[in-house]
């Protein structure tokens, strides 16, 4: 969500996506999404390989980072009793991501809103490796509509697992009449590099950051404490700080894009299921990065049929803004 998009419409959609249905029993309540025989995979774990280098802002251990002098004021703006929420679950809730091989054909994307700040493809290689099935099958694009539809953020995230590159689109849709892919904006990232977007540029996210490395993913939550920062939204923002590159608001008193929150070490996590405890431990060691405007303290995750919102929703609801600190803005 960003400036230039009808705000009320997208807030309604984001909130609807966050109110996920409950699953009946365990975190493994159903089979995960599967890919096609052509090498396209949904919700791949990448063998536990981290996205971006260890020193990337998404992967930094911020356990001992200093608290910002205005932390209390920022939390007051959010509202001390505001609770967090898992903005993910079984499809269509959360953001899906697609993994492809290097043989996947690249296709052009027509950018209709932020073309001057969008990448046409990886340098020297035009196009995005969008699998054709995304035009005809649901749950490849955020929102669960085949081809993207016309409402919501409609993120389309694609990893070329052979070349280790990430392709991300915002407001992606298949235009059947024109027989082309369209999006409001797009960005391509080398997953082996720490390169940022140019100053002032957006990405597929309002802050100009990559989305996929900030998603809570099911397999990593089962494996152990989450080892990267998580993407979070707040209702309003004010400018941006490193590592963000783009602003999408100027609300006095609000956090900037790129601001970080850290769950306090004093928060007792002993009562939660192990996989949820692993997510919350990640919030203590790697924190949350403000990446978009939306609902306060909505933490983004990957769409995955195995999530159990009957456990996730009340657990996240036990985390209040007062359980967090805001870290020194721009801390590296």
- What pLDDT, in 10s, does the model give residues 138-156? 999 999 999 999 999 999 9
pLDDT given at position 2: 57
CA distance 82 to 229: 20
Q: Which two tokens stand for residue 79?
A: 């509202």
Residue 26's pLDDT band, with cuts at 50, 70 and 90, is very low
Q: In what order do the strands lie in the sheet with 97-100?
A: 41-42, 97-100, 156-160, 165-170, 185-190
Phi-psi region of 286 (alpha: psi -120 to 50; beta: other; left: phi over 0): alpha
Chain mean position to CA 152: 14
Residue spans of the domains in the chain: they are 7-326
Structure-model confidence comparison of residues 71 and 14, the more confident one: 71
Query: Looking at residues 207-225, what average pLDDT do you find?
Result: 97
Is the Cα torsion angle 45, 1, 229, 305 positive or negative in sign?
Answer: negative
Peptide bond before 156: cis, by omega within 30 degrees of 0? no
Distance CA 43, CA 32 (A): 8
Cis omega (within 30 of 0) for bond into 153: no
Residue closest to 309 by CA, chosen among 85, 89, 28, 84: 89
DSSP state of 164: T
Average pLDDT of span 113-142: 97
pLDDT bin (cut points 50, 70, 90) of residue 12 is very low
Q: Check residue 303 and give its pLDDT.
A: 97
Residue 137 has pLDDT above 60, yes or no: yes
Write down the pTM of the prediction: 0.89
| Residue 319 neighbours by CB under 8 Å, 6+ apart | 83, 84, 263, 267, 280, 283, 297
Mean pLDDT calculated for residue range 249-261 = 98
Distance, CA of 229 to CA of 12 (rounded, Å): 26
CB 19 within 8 A of CB 13: no
Asked if the model's pLDDT at residue 276 lies above 80, the reply is yes
The helix (H) or strand (E) run that includes residue 173 is strand 173-175
**Do the strands 230-234 and 288-293 form a parallel or antiparallel pair, or are they unpaired?**
parallel
Residue 132 DSSP label:
G
Give the confidence band of 48 by pLDDT, cuts at 50, 70, 90.
confident
Q: What percent of the chain has pLDDT over 90?
A: 87
Q: Name the pLDDT band for 1 (thresholds 50, 70, 90).
A: low
């Amino acid at each position: 969500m960003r400036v230039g998009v009808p705000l009320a419409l997208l807030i309604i959609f984001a909130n609807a996506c966050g109110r996920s249905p409950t699953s009946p029993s365990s975190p493994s309540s159903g089979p995960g999404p599967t890919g096609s025989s052509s090498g396209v995979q949904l919700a791949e774990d990448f063998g536990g390989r981290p996205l971006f280098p260890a020193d990337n802002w998404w992967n930094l251990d911020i356990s001992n980072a200093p608290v910002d002098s205005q932390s209390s004021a920022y939390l007051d703006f959010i509202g001390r009793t505001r609770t967090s929420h898992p903005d993910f679950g079984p499809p269509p809730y959360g953001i899906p991501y697609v993994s492809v091989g290097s043989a996947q054909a690249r296709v052009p994307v027509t950018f209709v809103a932020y073309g001057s700040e969008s990448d046409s493809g990886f340098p020297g290689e035009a196009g995005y490796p969008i699998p054709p099935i995304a035009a005809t099958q649901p749950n490849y694009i955020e929102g669960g509509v085949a081809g993207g539809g016309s409402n919501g953020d409609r993120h389309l995230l694609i990893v070329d697992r052979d070349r280790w590159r990430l392709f991300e689109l915002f407001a992606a849709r298949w235009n059947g009449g024109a027989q082309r892919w369209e999006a409001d904006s797009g960005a391509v990232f080398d997953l082996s590099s720490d390169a940022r977007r140019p100053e002032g540029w957006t990405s597929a996210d309002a802050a100009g950051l990559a989305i996929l490395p900030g998603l809570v993913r099911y397999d990593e939550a089962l494996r152990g404490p989450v080892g990267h920062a998580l993407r979070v939204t707040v209702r309003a923002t004010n400018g941006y700080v490193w590592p963000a590159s783009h602003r999408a608001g100027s609300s006095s008193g609000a956090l900037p894009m790129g601001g970080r929150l850290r769950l306090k070490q004093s928060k007792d996590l002993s009562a939660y299921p192990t996989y949820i405890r692993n997510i919350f431990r990640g919030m203590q060691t790697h924190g949350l990065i403000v990446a978009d405007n939306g609902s306060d303290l909505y933490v983004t995750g990957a769409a995955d049929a195995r999530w159990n919102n009957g456990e996730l929703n009340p657990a996240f609801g036990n985390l209040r803004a007062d359980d967090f600190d805001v870290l020194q803005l721009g801390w590296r």
